[in-house]
Chain A
Amino acid sequence: MTEHIVVVGGGTGGTVLANRLAERLGPEFERGAVDVTLVSDDRNHVYKPVFLYVPFGEKTVADAKRPLADLVDREITVEIDRVEAVDTDRKRLDLRDGGRMTYGHLVLATGTGLVPEKVPGLAEGGHHFYGPDGAAALRDELATFTEGHLVLSVIGTPHMCPAAPVEFVLMADDWFRERGLREDVEITYTYPIQRAHGIQSIADWASTTFEERDIRLETFFNADEVDPDAGVLHSMEGKELDYDLLVGIPPHAGSDLVTAAGLGDDGWADVDRHTLESPHAEDVFVVGDLADVPTSKAGSVAHYEAGTVADRLASRVRGQVPTATYDGKTVCFIESGMDEATFVEFEYGTQPTVRAPSKPIHWAKLGYNESYWLTARGLL
Chain B
Amino acid sequence: MAMLTVEVDGKSVQVPNGATVMEAANKLGVFVPHFCYHKKLSIAANCRMCLVQVEKAPKPMPACATPVTDGMKVWTHSEAAKKAQNGVMEFLLINHPLDCPICDQGGECQLQDLAVGYGGSASRYAEPKRVVFHKNMGPLISAEEMSRCIHCTRCVRFGQEVAGVMELGMVGRGEHSEIVSFVGKSVDSELSGNMIDICPVGALTSKPFRYSARTWELSRRKSVSPHDSLGANLIVQVKQNKVMRVVPRENEEVNECWISDRDRFAYEGLNSEDRLTRPMLKDGGEWHEVGWEVALEHVASRLGAVRNAQGGEAIGALVSPNATLEEMYLTQKLLRGIGSDNVDFRLRQTDFAADGRRKGAPWLGMPVAELGSLDRVLVVGSFLRKDHPLLAARLRMAAKRALQLNVLHSSDDDLLMNVANKAIVAPQLLPEMLGQVVKALAEAKGTAAPAAVAGLQVADEARRIAASLASGKAVGVFLGNLAEQHPRAAELQVLVQMLAELSGGRFGFLGQAGNSVGGYIAGCLPQGKGLNAADMLRAPRKAYVLVGVEPELDCNDPVQTLSALRSAEFVVALSSYRGQLAEHVDVMLPLAPFTETSGTFINCEGRSQSFNGVVRPLGDTRPGWKVLRVLGNLLGVEGFEYDQSEAVRDAACGTASVASKLGNGIEGVSVGLKPVADSGLQRLADVPVYFSDPVVRRAESLQQSRDAKVPAARLSPVLAQRLGVAAGDRVKVRQGGEAVLEVMLEAGLPDGVVRIAAGHPATAGLGAMSGTISVEKA
Interaction A to B: no
Interface residues in chain B, defined as those with a beta carbon under 8 Å from any beta carbon in chain A: none
Interface residues in chain A, defined as those with a beta carbon under 8 Å from any beta carbon in chain B: none
